[in-house]
Structures are given as C-alpha cells and as structure tokens.
Structure 1
Amino acid sequence: MPFRSSIILTFLATLLLSLSGCDNSRDDGVVDAVIIGSPDGMYAPGYRLAASGQLLRGATAEGLVGLNAAGEVVPALADRWIVTDDGQSYIFRLRNGEWANGTPLTGESVRASLDRNLRELQGTSLGLDLSPISEVRAMTGRVVEIRLEAPVPGLLQLLAQPELGLQRDAEGTGPMALERDEAAAVLTMLPPDRRGLPMIEGWDKTIRPVRVQAMAAPAAIEQFDSGAADIVLNGRVNSLSLADTGALSRGTVRLDAALGLFGLRVNKSRGFLADAGRREALSLAIDRPSLVAPFNIGGWVPTTRIVDPTLSGSLDSSQERWPDLSLEQRRATASARVALWKAANGGDAPRLTIAMPTGPGSGILFRQIRASLSSVGIASELVGPDADADLELVDRLARFDSPRWFLNQFNCSLKQGLCSADADALVLDAISPGGPGERADLLLQAEREMLASNVYIPFGAPIRWSLVRGDVEGFATNRWGLHPLPPLAMGPI
C-alpha cells in the first residue's frame, strides 16, 4: 500500500530552518506584498476567486493539504495520509486542533466542510476536475476518507487549491490571521498551539507580519521601484512590458515556467468562424515563436496543442499539429480558405474582434497576432476584456498536471465560448472505472476531437512574473504560478 506521511513537527521545524525572511527596506519588520489585480478581489466571498482572493484564502483557511513556496504538496489540516493500491481511496489523519470558534477539529466537521466546498464548486472548471470524487466519509475520531470513481493521480494537488480551504462559520484555521488596515490586509502567523501543533520555543522570533495590497500593475511596479513593496505577484503578459529589468535597482523579474493555457478561445460561431475548417485557418496562420519575441522571454515553448506536450505522461508524445508543413505552407492553406470565403461573401475580408485585458503588453501581443492573421487576409481589431468579441484571450494556470484539466476548460457545461460535446463525452468516459491505458486513450481521443473542432487556438504556456527584492526569501518560482503568503512571513533565526 503506497504510504505518504509527514510528522508535522518535523515539517514545521524544517520550514522555519529553510526559509529566511525578508529585510524590508523601511526596517519596520513587515513584509510588504503587492498583488496585481483589483482590491475588491482580495475579500470576495464564494469560490470564484481572483488571484488576490486565492492568496488570502490560502493563507487563512487551510485545506487537508497545502502548497509550499516551491508548489509542492505539504501537510495542512491532515498531518499524514495513505492511498490505497487501486488509487481510489485517500485516507487522511487530521491533526489535533480546533476550528476558529474553538470547537474540535473532527472527521465529521471536516467532512461537512469539504462536502460544502465540493457542492459550491459545481458548475466550475475546478468542480469538473474534482468530479471523480464519489464520497467523503468521516471515519473514527479524526480520520476522513475520500473515495473516487477512478484514480486521480493529481488529487492531492487539487485538494491543496485555495478554493478547497476548509472553513466553519466562514472562518478558517489559519495558518495566518487577517486584520484589515485600510486598503491593506495584515497577515500574522498564528501560534503553533492555536493550530494544534507542538509549541517551538522562540517560534515568534522567526516570523514577521505580511502586509498585502492589490492594485493595478503600474501602481504596483511604482511601489516596488520606490522601495515601498518588497514583492509584486501575479504579473501577466499584459503588464510584463512595464517591468523593465533595466530600471530596477533593488529587485529582479522572476518568471514562472508555468503550466496552463495561453491562446484564443472562439466565442462566436458566426460569419467566417461558423466553419471548423475556417477556424483552423487562424491557427494555421499564427507565427507562434514571434508572439512573445518582443518580451525577450527565454525558454518559452510554443505549441499547437491544447494539452501541454511537455506534461509528464503527455498524450501522444510531443507530436505537434501539421508537423510536415512550414509556416509558409500553413499560411498558403489558410489563405486559400480565406479566399474562398471572400469570394462567397462579396469580396470583403473577414474581420474579427479579439478581447484582451487592458495593458501595454496586450497591445504588443495583439500586434503580433494581427500581423499573423493579416498575412492570410484576415483583419482583426483589439477590444476590451468585457466586449462581446469573436475571440478572447485565454490566460489560465493549470490546477494539476493532467490532460483532463486542459480539456475541462472547454467543457460545454461552463458555457464559455464554442465547445465540443463529443470531446466532453470522451472525458466523462475517461473518469469511469477502467484501466490506465483505456483512460489515456479516451483523453487522447478527446483532445483530437477538440483540436478538430478548432474551438481554441493555442499559443503556448501562460506567462507569469513577479518582482522580488534581492533580500527576500520564502519565494520560489514554480510551475503553478501560485506563490503562497505564509513562507514570506518566515524570518531569519
């Protein structure tokens, strides 16, 4: 029986020893973090969280497991667990602790909280990822079992997502407590005994508060450049051009080798986009390596696939679409399809609107896309993120490393753009009982079906960046692009 466990005392001691803290430029003993985004998103209730809301939820409401700075799964409310040989049962042993209201942390109370989260996430892509969960059972004392309809190798990663943080009476168990200070949230580590952990002498000498604000990218970068912020998180392609490394005197741009989706979703099945073959013309025309060339990003790998071909255990190896066609040949094919459409529609070139988030980086990216589409006779116009556009930029981080995550983002039940009911049916079949080979084959068929429908024009991996002052530790780039706040609170011993 595979066994995965960790003694929480060892974990806590290792965390304190391995993470040195941040020397704030103002010497006020506080780590100042700025998250690029809307301030409203920090405190939004519910389960559709902005990046700032994810970070605060993850800091104040632990799940059964959590993520460390490197994006690795670590113990949280559960201090150890086992997985049965068939991969369809995960049994968690809870630590000895209490909810925020002082009631004991029991298997039954955790089961009720987890069941509530799973219900609330129905209708979301994360809910689809979690759909193989068939039952959550409270066992004796502080033991909880999660049963699955089919094995989910990435289940622990899913359970570590901020939306799976467990609460009772709308309050979590930490590891941090939150107080609002005007526009900022001040987070402080709870004492170990408040979290049901063994006390460590002098624990409070090794931590410091983390003050968090959310603001637009220009203001966030200004805070960093002025020395008012130690770290800036959640940078995306639309703001990357603002983070000029040549102008930074006390920090560095840190890029995550992130896993996820970065491309154009087809929102409208009308006009030129009504036919899958013509939608394919857009994908044929895109010069993917040129898209991010103006940003000088090293190591970014373009792809014509929906499922990231670098994924461990990726489907169909690293085979890209149209492997025997050069860009010129692909564009010749696309141009011929555009010409046929023009001949049947009065000779006018197709004109498409593309919705992207505001920011100078979006303008740079759009100009590269426009040049590619123009090369085959397609005109395009950039519109705002809330516009009723033909195409929309998808820039999304993966929750776990499975082909199913990529395919779930286009599920018809989400009602976000064009979709493939046939692909959805294959994904559903893949989470029914069956052998690993059969499941992999079904997911491969689902991706091929979705590629054939051309509801999405992939570019490559999403781009995430942070600004991190040179003396800040407790931060690490990771493939999930998610940077938890508790490690930033750890100071030098």
Structure 2
Amino acid sequence: MVVSAIGEPPRVADPRRTLLDTPSRLLIDSTAQGLVRFDAAGQIEPGLAERWIVIDGGMSYIFRLREGDWGDGTPVTADQVVAILKRQIAPGSRNPLAPFLTAIDEIVVMTPQVIEVRLARPRPDLLKLFAQPELGLLRVTPTGGSGPFRVAPHGRGRAPLLRPAFDPNQADPEDQRATKPEEDVRLIGERAARAIARFANRDSDLVSGGSFADWPLLATTRIAPGNVRIDPAAGLFGLAIVRRDGFLAEVTNREAVAEAIDRTALTTAIAPAWDPADRILPDILDSAALPQVPAWTLLTQDERRIAARQKIAAWPEGPVTLRIALPNGPGATLLYAQIAGSLIAVGITPQRVEADADAELALIDAVAPYDSARWYLATACVLCGETAQAAIDAAREAPTLAERARRIAVADAAMNADVAFIPLARPLRWSLVSARLQQWQPNTRAWHPLNRLRADTN
C-alpha cells in the first residue's frame, strides 16, 4: 500500500522541539503509538496501554501497560513511559499540546506494568489528547517506538517503508515472523500536486492531509467523485488579529473588518459545499452557555457592508491598509481574492504576505485535538485583550467541571466582545481514497491511522 501525505518527507522528529506536519505525524503515529490511539472513526482505542480506569471523580487515570518492545527489541517499561510523558509536557516544551495539559499534577509508576496520571483539575477529554501523535511514546536515543509499525531496515529514507511490528500480545507470535508484502505501507511526503497526480495515475492508494489550500487542484483531474472524501472536521478557520495598534487598536474597527467579509461568497468560491462560520465555538461543547454570536449576524450582507464602510470612513488617520498572512496554494489565492474584494468594498486596502511575515491579520486553520470550548478560545486568542485573556486563563484554573463550564461561557462572551478573531468557516479537510481501503472513515479529527485502512493491517 502506498500513502501520499501532503507535506515534507516524513521524519521521526521530537514534538518537544519541532512542529510536525501530516507526513511526520503519520510516521510517529505509526511507529511510536501513545498510551491510547484513535481508531478509524476517531474514537479512542488501546495503544501501549491495554486498559485504563478513571477514579477519584476524574482526578486520576490509571493505565495498565501491555507487553511491548521498542524499535530495538528491548522491552517497554513503566519507568521509561513515565519519563517520556514528563519530558513531553515539561515547561519550555514546544509540543503544541503542552498548554492544554497543565492540569496534570503528577505522573507516577505504580507497578512495573501500571502508571498513574494524577490531575490537579478534572479533564474528561484527557484521553483524546493522549491519542494525538504529539504524545506518541517516542524514545529519542535510540530513536524508536512500540509500533504498530516499524520502519523496515531496507526501507529507510525520504519515503520510509513501514512493516507491521511484532506484537508479543498476539496468540500466534510465530506467524508474525513472516510478514506479507501487502501488509507493508510506503509513506511518501510530497506537494499536493504530485500527490494528486500519483493517485490519478493509480500509483498510490491514499492521499491524506488535504486542506482548503489545495482543494482547487482536484478540479484539474479526472479522479472519480467517489474517491474524493471530506472529513466533518471540527476546529477553527479564520483570521486572528496579530497586531492591535493603529486601526485595529479600536474594537469597532476590528468589528468592521469582521462584518465586511462575505463568508458565503468566500466558501462558495473555493468549495461549494463548504459551510461558513460566524462564531468561534461550533457548539455549546463544555460551556455553560450557547456560543456567543456577533450582533452583526442579524444584518444582511449589504447592511453589514454599509455599517463597516461608515466605521472605516470615520477613522481620522487616513487610508487603512491591512496585511494578511496566508499560506501558499491556489485555495489560499482564492481565499485572499474574496477577502480582498470584501475589504476593498468598504474602503480598506489589503496586502497579502507570506504566512510567517509581519501582518495585522493571520490565518488560523486548525483541527481541534479534543472537544473543549477552551481549546477554541485559547487558540483563537493569538493576541486578545486583557479581559479576554484573563477569562480564558480563569477557565483553565477552574477547580470543578461546573465552574469550568461557567468560566468558559464568560470567556466566550469576552472573546466575542473583544473581536480578537474573525471566524470564516470550519476547517476543510479532504482525502483521496481508493476503493480497496474500505476501513477509511470520515471523522471530526480528520485523522486516519495507517493501521486502520485495511482489514489485513489491523
């Protein structure tokens, strides 16, 4: 089986130091599973932990480890697992999940096969974080994990060959010694255009990691519609305010930018079935209140444009120019064209810049790793006001779930009033899937483990 993942060639990188793209996330998920994993439907299944219990009102997670080996054949121990987890969430880690794991008070070894994760505050979605590739149990020296795949000795390089790992827990260990070629997975990281062309030529079975930026490329191919699969991805897609000086120092001006953009025209120009969004939270989630909705949503698009134009015309310091940081790709070009057209119509001059360049507005396109309203608010708050930031921090420190829900509702109201983020849509995630990958399932995580694509790779 050949899998093309959109991004750079996959490599086993330490998530504490390097942000991972889709190919590297798939490689780590395949070779260095965590305590738990996601299955094909995006639900939790055992990883290195064969079972677990939650006690003390959600304040303690106890995991029993299954028998397992590292990549070099040495047995996995509870002491090693605890040491790896502690490093991943230590202060100063660049692991993107570390800010959402501050409720972990202690990780301890209970027996040679059992570890306990003790919390200072309850976190019912903790397992969904532990299932992310960024919390895979990866040994840096020597590099390796416990499977479910290994990199074949002759298959290393820019497109590693993955082979099912020997599992001492299965009843037929001798049968595992002779692996079948059809069980192997060749993982390729490459640009979207090359990945799509490879699939169209029937040289791969799956293209994974597609986003809005690459979606228009599909229109140039004759790939059957049945092979194009879209995930109901949950997350954020919108413009974060990354400078709060000049024009954007005033909340009314930030609001003018938000109401000026025609979201329906924007999403339709890129993908007709793509749903627009006008609020940060997609649902109530773990908040005590319904999602906050901007007041301008009650207006028609023409009324919004008139209101925005009046606010901008009242700006006393002359013409307004806003730099917008976007990624590369034809979808991003279409996105910019729609945003630019909306802003020009109300008197703002837009300027597109690279994703990592200085700007006033920057695109956030992120799938939620777990189902908490606080993730949405904290991720949207790239540069929000003191009141909103304090409310988000207070939600993190809430001692009970009921109090956390109340504080999240307060934080949502504060973010809505602050207009620190301009929602546009929900993340667009797509894959190209051959008919023989019958276990591929769309899910809200937009995550498709390589060992859950075919029945003979489970």
- TM-score (structure 2 length as normaliser): 0.91
Contact in 2 for aligned 1:288/1:302 (Cα 8 Å):
yes
1:401 match: secondary structure: coil
2:69 match: secondary structure: coil
**Greater relative CO (CA pairs within 8 A, separation 6+):** 1
Contact in 2 for aligned 1:128/1:408 (Cα 8 Å):
no
Aligned residue number for residue 324 of structure 2: 354
Q: Aligned-pair distance for 1:182?
A: 4.4
Whether 2:7 is the aligned partner of 1:37: answer: yes
Measured against aligned partners, the alpha-carbon deviations of 1:226-252 in whole angstroms (never above 9, x if no partner) come to 111111111111110001286114961
Distance (whole Å) between structure 1 residues aligned to residue 291 and residue 258 of structure 2: 18
Q: 2:364 aligns with which of 386, 394, 408?
A: 394
Distance (whole Å) between structure 2 residues aligned to residue 152 and residue 198 of structure 1: 36
Contact in 2 for aligned 1:210/1:488 (Cα 8 Å):
no
Q: Aligned-pair distance for 1:473?
A: 2.5
Compare 200-209 and 87-96 and name the one that shifted more: 200-209
Distance (whole Å) between structure 1 residues aligned to residue 22 and residue 89 of structure 2: 20
Contact in 2 for aligned 1:315/1:403 (Cα 8 Å):
no
Contact in 2 for aligned 1:207/1:489 (Cα 8 Å):
no
Aligned residue number for residue 441 of structure 1: 406
Compare 330-339 and 98-107 and name the one that shifted more: 98-107
Percent same amino acid at aligned positions?
38
1:409 match: secondary structure: helix
Distance 1:237 1:492, change over 3 A: closer
Whether 2:292 is the aligned partner of 1:327: answer: no
Q: Aligned-pair distance for 1:157?
A: 0.3
Measured against aligned partners, the alpha-carbon deviations of 1:118-175 in whole angstroms (never above 9, x if no partner) come to 1277455411111111110110231111111111111000000101111333321111
Say how many residue pairs are matched. 449
> What is the correspondence of 1:42-441 to structure 2 with a 5 Å cutoff?
42-47=11-16, 48-119=19-90, 122=93, 124-168=95-139, 169=141, 170-179=143-152, 180-193=155-168, 196-199=169-172, 204=179, 208-244=183-219, 247-249=222-224, 252-298=227-273, 300-309=274-283, 312-313=285-286, 316-322=289-295, 323-341=297-315, 344-346=316-318, 348=319, 350-410=320-380, 417-441=382-406
Distance (whole Å) between structure 2 residues aligned to residue 183 and residue 141 of structure 1: 37
Measured against aligned partners, the alpha-carbon deviations of 1:345-371 in whole angstroms (never above 9, x if no partner) come to 24x3x1212121111111111111122
Contact in 2 for aligned 1:57/1:162 (Cα 8 Å):
yes
Distance 1:132 1:330, change over 3 A: same
Distance (whole Å) between structure 2 residues aligned to residue 489 and residue 42 of structure 1: 23
Contact in 2 for aligned 1:238/1:362 (Cα 8 Å):
yes
Distance 1:356 1:372, change over 3 A: same
Distance (whole Å) between structure 2 residues aligned to residue 409 and residue 109 of structure 1: 31
Where does structure 1 lack aligned partners over 5 or more consecutive residues?
1-30, 412-416
- TM-score (structure 1 length as normaliser): 0.85
Distance (whole Å) between structure 2 residues aligned to residue 286 and residue 391 of structure 1: 13
1:270 partner amino acid: D
Q: Aligned-pair distance for 1:283?
A: 0.7
Distance 1:53 1:77, change over 3 A: same
Compare 108-117 and 74-83 and name the one that shifted more: 108-117
Distance (whole Å) between structure 2 residues aligned to residue 279 and residue 111 of structure 1: 45
Measured against aligned partners, the alpha-carbon deviations of 1:287-334 in whole angstroms (never above 9, x if no partner) come to 222211023442x4322222223x544553255222433323322221
Distance 1:87 1:107, change over 3 A: same
CA RMSD of aligned residues (A): 2.4
Q: Aligned-pair distance for 1:277?
A: 1.7
Q: Aligned-pair distance for 1:464?
A: 0.6
Q: Aligned-pair distance for 1:373?
A: 1.6
Where does structure 2 lack aligned partners over 5 or more consecutive residues?
none
Measured against aligned partners, the alpha-carbon deviations of 1:78-131 in whole angstroms (never above 9, x if no partner) come to 111111151111111111233334443332221112111112774554111111
Compare 47-56 and 204-213 and name the one that shifted more: 204-213
1:192 match: secondary structure: coil
Whether 2:426 is the aligned partner of 1:461: answer: yes
Aligned residue number for residue 443 of structure 2: 478
Distance (whole Å) between structure 2 residues aligned to residue 218 and residue 85 of structure 1: 51
Contact in 2 for aligned 1:67/1:74 (Cα 8 Å):
yes
